[in-house]
Chains A and B, each alone.
Chain A
Amino acid sequence: MNSAAVGVRPRGGLNAGRLVRRHGWTVGVYVLLLVLVLFWRTIPANWGSFDVQSLAIDALPLAFAAMAQSVVIISGGIDLSVGSLISLVNVLSAKYMVDMSFRNALLFGALLLAGSAAAGAFTGSLTVLSRVPDIVVTLAMLFVWAGVALEILQIPGGGAPPPYLQLGTGHWWSQWIPSGLVILLLGFAIFWLPLRWARPGLALYSVGSNRSAAYLSGVGVARTRILAYALGGLFAGLAGLALTATSGIGDPNAGQYYTLNSVAAAVLGGVALVGGVGGLIGPIAAAFVVTLVKTMLILKGVDQNWAQVIQGSLIIVVVMIGGLAIRRRGRT
């Protein structure tokens, strides 16, 4: 046998077949979203830009939460404190922005983002330095942030200047382009892409894929894991700010919804819980899928409790189909 022959494969810059093979899941989620949208169009009597607008409003915070969760899972961890960190940023912004000018509100938002990134880095450092498993540390932090949020605002209230609310609920250029969608793409392009295509992004994936191989390749494993949590905190901060913009108030319990739904959206979006696999593009679409299914079930007048059963089943079915597809590929 000439073992060098094993390595001989056709070379090609862009290989469409492989693109689908490697990013098949992401493509699949977008196809699922498209199918759901086509179906959704037929339900309300006069479906229009208003419906698109309200979907974007509903999905925006979850999309950011899914990004937060995905970054951490890709690096081989899991962050259960995402939801309560969202609550914390939500109540802080709503409590103090209410009397601010738009300019100050934006500055304050930037400050909160820096703060939530630091909070994420803190959580990450705790689990990295103490070697207590991620799930334990972040569960503890869930309670800590939730408590602080309740201390700041006992009952839902507060608000934000109208131009700030427009960021989440308005539209730009056309009725069909909700401003929230633009903000989402901006957040993705500014905070994720530069990392994804540079060495820190590779490090993030390598740490989640095989920690010892990453270490032996010279990756600073501790630093990278803390970076993942910091980035997760940053996206959670964006989710909190988005929640204020879309709901118009601060609610200390609003974040609960995002704790497990962020995990669901990450998994649905093709992020493997073992780490090292997936991206943020899939989970973003998955956040819209999750939100859209909920919307459609409400429109259809399905009972709230049954709606949850259907949502849960959908996640299992989709992930199962994806898993089967991967296993079949592995066999051939």
Chain B
Amino acid sequence: MSLLEAREVGKRYGPVVALESANLSVDAGEVHALLGANGAGKSTFVKILTGVIQRDGGSVELRGEPVRVSSPSQAARIGLAPVFQDPALVPDLTVAQNIRLTGVAVEKVQQRLRELDIDIDFTEQAGDVPLPLLRMIDLARAMARDPQLLLLDEITAALPSDLAERVFAVMEEWRRRGRSVLFITHRLAEVIAMCDRATVLRDGRDVGTLVPRGGGERQIVEHMLGPEAAKAEARAAEVDEKAAAEDRGAADAGATTLGVSDLRVGSLAGVSFSLRGGEILGIAALEGQGQDDLFAVLAGERRAEGGEMSVAGKALRPRHPYDAIRSGLVLVPADRLLALLPQRSVRENIAAPRYNRVTRWGPINPREERRRVAKAIEALQIDTRAQRQVRRLSGGNQQKVTIARWLASGFQTLLCFDPTRGIDVGTKRQIYALLRRLADDGAAILFFSSELSEFPLVCDRVLTLFGGRITGELAGEGADEASLLRAMHGLVEEVAV
């Protein structure tokens, strides 16, 4: 029996169509995936289903009854409980107060968290709780309402694998009890492993509902990108793979661009490595092993407590991001909005870092600016439909803008901290290809990712970080998940090169 039936749901903001006409049918006792590239309309769809925004057209039925969901609290009352992409906890309230705020019994949430084997001090302020645990509290809070349909919007994106496993267990439980889950993720492996059916959105329309276990990744990607684009992508990916394989040999020839020796800061306890021009060096680590500190120091956000850094042989002691940028070290953070000016246009965002160097005084040369920005937009294939305000772009396009900023202003070393977090497969591939192209042009790239499958695709070499120290070094092709995981858990002997 169909639990939720959405027909021809649409939403537009002025001339911008966020959702053209989407259909979705979720059965009782089903884990259903909602897939699509960034900007395909997934988040809009979920927000409509949970009453965060109102639909312009179409109909939604719950167990055969038409419903109009007017607010998140009403959605909860009729049995739709969402866990949103951004944690919905108020930072200045304690965990317990946050739960009382939603009108859920605190004991029920505690009970759920115990079942998830998570121990949290409920008198702690939510702002002091680490992000992955906040997501778990969000989940427990949604579960405590015992909803018919649990909507999980990219909940696994910020979770380490052991916590993600617990989310999957919850999905299993819901299925077993004849209830349903709508699961949104960019990790196709999760979809294939966990979901009974998947509905794919493309350009604001549903383009098909399929059984992920049957067709596998290729089928899903084809639906997401459209048949033609998928073929082109696959070809491009192959070509890139080949080129990358050839380059891996050549990379050794480059001179050291970034040298780090015995770097100590925060939880980083003496890290040394060197990065050559033309090379992509991966940093693989579990949550909280010092990777945040490493990137913060290199980008000039924090000062090192000990050790040396050098750029092209010259000592580097950045006291401010400005110093790092001047030495050609630029950062692409995971959280796009940390780097962007959300209310300003794509063009201003891309041009902004340039004002560090060009024409310190005097007016900005608009023609030069437009030329460079246009070049960067083209190189990255940024979708500029909503270019007047960056915050209206989809996540993938925002991430492209953060990279485009540095393309337009020039750099030698790109520090990518989880650059593909929450980005769809198609855009991810574009970003992999772009990173490879940049490396071919001589850039040095330091690359951290929370998705292990990216390392062999992207990197020439991978270092693993555990407890603030480097515990292993793997060649790019050899960095499969099993060997990475071993090294990331500090099992040094088995993998040391």
Instruction: Please indicate the chain A residues that have their CB under 8 angstroms from the CB of B92 in the complex.
Output: 205-206, 208-210, 276-277
Instruction: Please indicate the chain A residues that have their CB under 8 angstroms from the CB of B90 in the complex.
Output: 205-206, 209-210, 213-214, 217, 276
Contact assessment for A218 and B133 in the assembled complex, using a CB-CB cutoff below 8 Å? no
Instruction: Please indicate the chain B residues that have their CB under 8 angstroms from the CB of A215 in the complex.
Output: 52, 72
Q: State in angstroms the CA–CA spacing of A203 and B102 once bound together.
A: 9
Within 8 A of B (CB), among A10-33: 10-11, 15, 18, 22
Cross-interface CB contact of A202 among B84, B86, B101, cutoff 8 Å:
B101
Q: Which of A1-9, A115-123, A187-195 lies at the binding interface?
A: A1-9
Instruction: Please indicate the chain A residues that have their CB under 8 angstroms from the CB of B132 in the complex.
Output: 3, 6
Is A212 among interface residues, defined by CB-CB distance under 8 A? yes
Within 8 A of B (CB), among A178-232: 199, 202-203, 205-206, 208-210, 212-220
Q: Which of B119-127, B213-221, B362-370, B381-389 lies at the binding interface?
A: B119-127
Q: Which residue, B101, B132, B133, has most C-beta atoms of chain A within 10 A?
A: B101
Is B353 among interface residues, defined by CB-CB distance under 8 A? no
Within 8 A of A (CB), among B95-136: 97-98, 100-103, 117-121, 123-125, 129-130, 132-133
| Min C-beta distance of A77 to chain B, whole Å | 15
Contact assessment for B100 and A216 in the assembled complex, using a CB-CB cutoff below 8 Å? no
- Closest A residue to B84 by beta carbon equals A216
Q: State in angstroms the CA–CA spacing of A270 and B130 once bound together.
A: 25
Q: State in angstroms the CA–CA spacing of A2 and B133 once bound together.
A: 12
Q: How big is the A interface, by class? A: 20 to 34
Is B160 among interface residues, defined by CB-CB distance under 8 A? yes
Is B87 among interface residues, defined by CB-CB distance under 8 A? yes
| Min C-beta distance of B89 to chain A, whole Å | 6
Instruction: Please indicate the chain B residues that have their CB under 8 angstroms from the CB of A4 in the complex.
Output: 117-119, 162
Cross-interface CB contact of B162 among A3, A11, A220, cutoff 8 Å:
A3
| Min C-beta distance of A19 to chain B, whole Å | 11
Q: State in angstroms the CA–CA spacing of A239 and B163 once bound together.
A: 53
Contact assessment for A218 and B71 in the assembled complex, using a CB-CB cutoff below 8 Å? yes
Instruction: Please indicate the chain B residues that have their CB under 8 angstroms from the CB of A209 in the complex.
Output: 90-93
- Closest B residue to A277 by beta carbon equals B92
Instruction: Please indicate the chain B residues that have their CB under 8 angstroms from the CB of A217 in the complex.
Output: 72, 88-90, 98, 101-102
Is B152 among interface residues, defined by CB-CB distance under 8 A? no
Instruction: Please indicate the chain A residues that have their CB under 8 angstroms from the CB of B118 in the complex.
Output: 4, 7
Instruction: Please indicate the chain B residues that have their CB under 8 angstroms from the CB of A277 in the complex.
Output: 92
Instruction: Please indicate the chain B residues that have their CB under 8 angstroms from the CB of A10 in the complex.
Output: 121
Cross-interface CB contact of B52 among A199, A208, A210, A216, cutoff 8 Å:
A216
Instruction: Please indicate the chain B residues that have their CB under 8 angstroms from the CB of A22 in the complex.
Output: 125
Q: State in angstroms the CA–CA spacing of A14 and B123 once bound together.
A: 10
- Closest A residue to B127 by beta carbon equals A209
Contact assessment for B119 and A8 in the assembled complex, using a CB-CB cutoff below 8 Å? yes
- Closest B residue to A10 by beta carbon equals B121
| Min C-beta distance of B339 to chain A, whole Å | 20
Contact assessment for A7 and B133 in the assembled complex, using a CB-CB cutoff below 8 Å? yes
Contact assessment for B97 and A202 in the assembled complex, using a CB-CB cutoff below 8 Å? yes
Q: State in angstroms the CA–CA spacing of A226 and B190 once bound together.
A: 44
- Closest A residue to B136 by beta carbon equals A7
- Closest B residue to A22 by beta carbon equals B125
Instruction: Please indicate the chain B residues that have their CB under 8 angstroms from the CB of A212 in the complex.
Output: 86, 88
Instruction: Please indicate the chain B residues that have their CB under 8 angstroms from the CB of A8 in the complex.
Output: 119
Is B287 among interface residues, defined by CB-CB distance under 8 A? yes
Is B452 among interface residues, defined by CB-CB distance under 8 A? no
Q: State in angstroms the CA–CA spacing of A22 and B124 once bound together.
A: 10
| Min C-beta distance of A151 to chain B, whole Å | 41
Cross-interface CB contact of A11 among B84, B121, B163, cutoff 8 Å:
B121
Is B73 among interface residues, defined by CB-CB distance under 8 A? yes
- Closest A residue to B490 by beta carbon equals A1
Contact assessment for B91 and A218 in the assembled complex, using a CB-CB cutoff below 8 Å? no
- Closest A residue to B94 by beta carbon equals A22
Instruction: Please indicate the chain B residues that have their CB under 8 angstroms from the CB of A1 in the complex.
Output: 160, 286-289
Q: Mark B61-101, 1 if CB is under 8 A from A, else 0.
A: 00000000001110010000010101111111100011011
Q: State in angstroms the CA–CA spacing of A214 and B117 once bound together.
A: 27
Q: State in angstroms the CA–CA spacing of A202 and B90 once bound together.
A: 10
Cross-interface CB contact of A214 among B84, B101, B119, cutoff 8 Å:
B101
Q: State in angstroms the CA–CA spacing of A11 and B123 once bound together.
A: 9
Contact assessment for B72 and A216 in the assembled complex, using a CB-CB cutoff below 8 Å? yes
Q: State in angstroms the CA–CA spacing of A185 and B326 once bound together.
A: 59
Contact assessment for B287 and A218 in the assembled complex, using a CB-CB cutoff below 8 Å? no
Q: State in angstroms the CA–CA spacing of A330 and B91 once bound together.
A: 14
- Closest B residue to A15 by beta carbon equals B123
From known contacts A1-B287, A2-B162, infer whether A7 and B100 are also in contact, taking CB-CB under 8 Å: no
Cross-interface CB contact of B120 among A7, A15, A210, cutoff 8 Å:
A7
Instruction: Please indicate the chain A residues that have their CB under 8 angstroms from the CB of B102 in the complex.
Output: 217-218
Contact assessment for B121 and A7 in the assembled complex, using a CB-CB cutoff below 8 Å? yes
Q: Which residue, A3, A10, A219, has most C-beta atoms of chain B within 10 A?
A: A3
Contact assessment for B133 and A6 in the assembled complex, using a CB-CB cutoff below 8 Å? yes
Instruction: Please indicate the chain B residues that have their CB under 8 angstroms from the CB of A206 in the complex.
Output: 90, 92-93, 98, 101
Q: State in angstroms the CA–CA spacing of A221 and B100 once bound together.
A: 16
| Min C-beta distance of B363 to chain A, whole Å | 31
Instruction: Please indicate the chain B residues that have their CB under 8 angstroms from the CB of A9 in the complex.
Output: 121, 124
Instruction: Please indicate the chain A residues that have their CB under 8 angstroms from the CB of B97 in the complex.
Output: 202, 205
- Closest B residue to A7 by beta carbon equals B120
Instruction: Please indicate the chain A residues that have their CB under 8 angstroms from the CB of B100 in the complex.
Output: 199, 202
Instruction: Please indicate the chain A residues that have their CB under 8 angstroms from the CB of B288 in the complex.
Output: 1, 6
| Min C-beta distance of A212 to chain B, whole Å | 7
Q: State in angstroms the CA–CA spacing of A202 and B162 once bound together.
A: 33
Within 8 A of A (CB), among B287-326: 287-289
Cross-interface CB contact of B101 among A6, A203, A276, cutoff 8 Å:
A203
Q: Which residue, A11, A212, A218, has most C-beta atoms of chain B within 10 A?
A: A218
Listed from nearest, the 8 A-B pairs whose CB atoms lie closest are A218-B73, A216-B88, A209-B92, A276-B92, A206-B90, A9-B121, A7-B120, A209-B90
Supply 19 A–B pairs (Cβ within 8 Å), ascending by A.
A1-B289, A3-B133, A4-B118, A6-B130, A7-B121, A199-B100, A199-B101, A205-B92, A206-B98, A209-B93, A210-B90, A210-B91, A213-B89, A213-B91, A215-B52, A217-B90, A217-B98, A218-B71, A276-B90
